[in-house]
A and B are shown apart, each in its own frame.
Chain A
Amino acid sequence: MKNFFKALIALFLLGSLQAHAAGTQYDIQVNGLACPFCAYNIEKKFKKIEGVQKVDVELEAGKVIVDMAEGAKLTEPQLIKLFKDAGFTFKGVTEKPL
């Protein structure tokens, strides 16, 4: 009986992890980004988008890493416009499951 409960808890935790990992991580290359104060303009833009869970700006690498919730997506035209509006130039994006 004890083992049964352990297995049940393990199954529950695994399910939770899978549910959390169902989002997408976007690794976005941006040109023209060269100071911390400017980087915040990008963060503000992303935080207005529904489904954005986390935004990290990697200044030296010229990258913005965005975690999206399950079901939420970022499209290339959307990213081109977002970076243009923030004053920068979108270069490219790769995505992977969280």
Chain B
Amino acid sequence: MKHSVLIPGLAGLFLYSSLQAAPMTFNTALAVGEGEYVLRQQFIGLQSGHDPSGLKRDRRETTALTALGYGLNNQWALFATLPYRKIDLDLGEASISRHSSGLGDMSFFVRYTAYQDDAPGKTLRIAPFAGLKTPTGSHREKDRYGLLPPSVQSGSGSWDPFGGVVMTYQTLQFQFDGQASYRFNTAADGFEAGDIARLDASLQYRLFPRKLSRGTPGFLYGVLEMNLVHQAKNRYRGHADPDSGGTRLFLTPGLQYVTRRWIIEGAIQLPLVQDLNGKALENDYILRGGFRFNF
């Protein structure tokens, strides 16, 4: 089987995590207090079944993504994310099914609050971040057909640096976040997933309570996010794969309930545009649900 048709690098795209009252599909610039921890658990279901190749490929991935944030001081915060992935790939034309499950690649990143402008009931923050995805997940799993293709492996085997900048404008009524990021995917065992560039935007609007009362009530936000994702072609032993990479635009409506100590949320990422190279497999949808806990 060619590595090409399975867009392996994209799997990692959806494993971003943020830890404050914030977007569901990417990061935020809001603070983690000095010496404080924030935990996030997210469950992601990714379905890709629209196959222009005629092989009737159907790929399903379920991920439990755990993220922990720690405030080093008022400007620096450290984050770690660890996915547990279960991947199934059916090749309908050949009646073959391939599976794997296990811990994926752990990522670490630091975020620095470079700009902060606070006013009564609002704040504007800009924070660059940089990190590294480490090859903690297995990338040499085999089944009875031999070595699994990269898109069915839990890990990539590569050390992939990434970085970007995120901005947040938050008021009592709404919050806007925007992010630009880039991930340099490196090679492992001759395979190199294409680099990934992303532009993300998120609007969270308070639906309830309509009017604020005294104290600290819970907020129900309506969320609308957009993700523009471009991935370069994968390379195998130095050769670019013509059936890999491309550009996707997702629209993500969702709901988020935010209290003092926890957040519960759910959203669906719908592909509006998929301009993919060759016969790359298209996404159908991505479901996201989860909670965050401030302890």
Contact = CB atoms under 8 A, between A and B. Distances in A.
A34 B213 CA distance: 14
Overall SS of chain B's interface: loop
Contacts of A35: 20-21, 170, 172, 175, 219, 258
B259 interface: yes
B95 interface: no
A84 B119 contact: no
Interface string B111-140: 001001011111100000000000000000
B258 A44 contact: no
B73 interface: yes
A89 B292 CA distance: 24
Nearest to B30: A38
Overall SS of chain A's interface: mixed
Q: How many B residues are at the interface, by size bracket?
A: 35 or more
Contacts of A84: 74
A38 B21 contact: yes
A58 B33 contact: no
B292 A37 contact: yes
B272 interface: no
A31 B119 contact: yes
Nearest to A91: B120
A53 interface: no
B294 A57 contact: no
29 contacts: A32-B119, A33-B121, A34-B121, A34-B122, A34-B170, A35-B170, A35-B219, A36-B21, A36-B219, A36-B258, A36-B259, A41-B36, A44-B33, A57-B216, A57-B260, A58-B214, A58-B216, A59-B121, A59-B172, A59-B212, A59-B216, A60-B121, A84-B74, A85-B34, A87-B30, A87-B31, A87-B32, A87-B113, A89-B118
